[in-house]
Chains A and B, each alone.
Chain A
Amino acid sequence: MGEEEVKQEEKEEKAKPKEEFKLSFDYFNESRLGIFALIIGILVAIFPGLPAFIKGIGMMIVFVWGADSVRKTARYGLGTGVPSIGVLAMGFGIIGGITGIAVASLSFGTLVVGGVEIAFGVLAGVALLALLGFVSGNLANGDKFINMKIPGLERGMTELGMAGTLAVLIETSIITGTYAITSVLPNVINNGVIAVIFIISAFGMLQPLNTCLGADERRGRTLLMSIEIGGIASIILGLVTTLTLSAVQGVPLIVLGAVVWVVFYRAYMKACMKEAYAVKGTGLIKTLGG
């Protein structure tokens, strides 16, 4: 079955013009992507009543933003490895997410307009973590403090604080469908799903650059991998959502995740093979033609 699939894929590849498959991040340069992802992330985060797969798309966009910020700061060499900054983003994200959820659970934290819940309270967490990220970026880059001399580290850490918080908030709202603390505590925190959220979000942000870094690193290719990890995260969250909410919410998320994973894995592998000088397959991954 595997070989047939490969042949079919090869045929499809030849039949399609290559331009059609090409995904470009040229329009979304670093600033545009940041603003776009922030707006989408906030919109998705403050409406906990949205269907899970729309929130899944919002989560992937936030992951791409986080990965772009990691790329921005870590390509100059941090001295402690790329993972440290992704884990830092999620350390911030957990603090901000829990604070945001606590504020949203207050009576004034969530407005109900015509039956639609609008959780403005979560924005408190995002704003506080933007401040914390900005301060720690200044500490790390300031002349009088650590003096890391990385251009744009202040901005990168601010963005990472916000992206980490938004990722935690959106994933929490995917699983519970609300920010009410009586529902969040048993379904997300006390059963340990928060640890899964921590690590998959950290991977969505740190893994792309950690894998692709080097002399020939290209932004478009690095960000493809971030979307792919977003797909894997959607599958995992879909399984959890099926258990906590219902299959109506969970199954579309799993399907979305699987489609995104397959499409972007293929796109990433194609980009890698096209941009490499030569590819020699080991036979372990069939698409390499080994």
Chain B
Amino acid sequence: MTTSSPSTLTLQPSWQRLSPIAIVYFLFDVIKSLSQSFIYLIPGGVVGHRYISGHENEFLIGAIGFIVLVCARCFASYWYYQYRISQDTFEVSVGLFKKRYLNLPFERIQNVKLEQPLIYRFTGHVAVTLDSAGSKDEEAKIYALTQQDANALREAILLARKADQPDLQATIVNTTPSPANQGAEQDEQLLNTRSVLDLVIHGVANNRLWILLGALLSAQDVLLSWMEGLLSDLGLNIDDVIAQATGSWWQISAAALMLFLLLLIPLSLLSILGSIIVFYNYRLSCLSDRYIRRCGLFTRQEVSVRLSRIQMIESKQDWLDRLIGRTNLVFQQNLSGSDSRSIETVSSLVVPSVKAHERDALIAETWPDAQPFTKVQYRSASPYYFLYFLTLFVLPLSIVTSTALWVYLDVGYALAGVSVLIIIALLFFCHWRRLGFAADDHYYYVRSGILGVRYVCFPIYKLQQVSIEQSLLMTKRKLASVKFVLASGAIVVPYIDESLAYDIANQALYKTESLKKSWM
């Protein structure tokens, strides 16, 4: 990082331009979006090809014009982007034709994200994204700042809300003078790192392609019969081939398995590659009251999140994760403004594929008074949850479908239909068994999942809204479901005793309204 000049950032309340390197960034942005829409231009290119061959000069002029236009656009993006940082606000004015002005007080900024794309590594610049607690439109991006300025800005923002907390201020003041990024990192307490091996495990275990492969497996009969038809058209009989083959049936199945694994390997490799690109050199550290996550192979990302912004901690284990004893830990923040809830979103703080003891340590570090998720005594959901599903959904559906299949097709189809419904019922049984709710003085814990397990824990006072739902059947059995709405999404506790449901809802309301603590 080539940052030697002292930071002038916080001392200049006048309007400033970005570093000219931002033009390159804008150019890459344009190229990226152009290449994304390039696929739509291919038909045009095919049609236009014949025309071009007769008019090379005109085409060349057009192409040059286009390039000039793109460059002009990038320059305009740079020239008309101005920002100003005062004591406690960040202001930005953008746009040539459509002017946009955004005023973002520091205290409303939820996240500060530092990103270093490959092109910035040579000049030591970073792109800074300021996430507000509000909508996606209120996100501000400073496309190019020196690493040092970015650090200073981050400090200023994170300091803003602590002005009235003298003890915390002291810690921060000590860290501010450290000039470079490396200096700042020394004061941090390293909480977790992920080795490449961990990331490989994460890539394997979180391969969403497994599901796809399962579907492919069930389609193999169709594929085989189609291939058989094709081969017999060519004068080959697959049964004869197999009968003549020297190998026994298990050799053939082993070969088939090999083929399947061979297919699996490239897909898993892709997933591992993705995991490494996103999480390479993962470091989660803590500096006074905030967590900082750094990772990324090509584009290095640094996300700072104040601990008070964490709404809930989620621990997710797929069935494969369970087999190898790994867990994805997610510190969930306010999600109401963002559009994606996927695990890779920047604003959620993910710790990929940690071991059980690492997970417990991270939870204890974040919320020392919370209990380890697995050691809490969970109350299970009422058996009526499963019973009603069975009698009101599975049973009528299996009667209707099996009769229909029997009448119109064959007994075999009817049995197949029923067995699918039995599998659904079994999965729902697993889901019911998994459900659990626990509470202590400060936290609520919810367990869910089907084959995997998902634990969620949240401080009671973070509640945004609570609702209790009861169908007629539930009222009869004195059961109810409770939905806790947090800024990071809703958590449902289904089919518990009516009195317990009202007790935990009342308790949550009481805690929220009497403590009057901020959810942010």
Q: Do A and B bind each other?
A: no
A residues at B contact (CB < 8 Å)? none
B residues at A contact (CB < 8 Å)? none
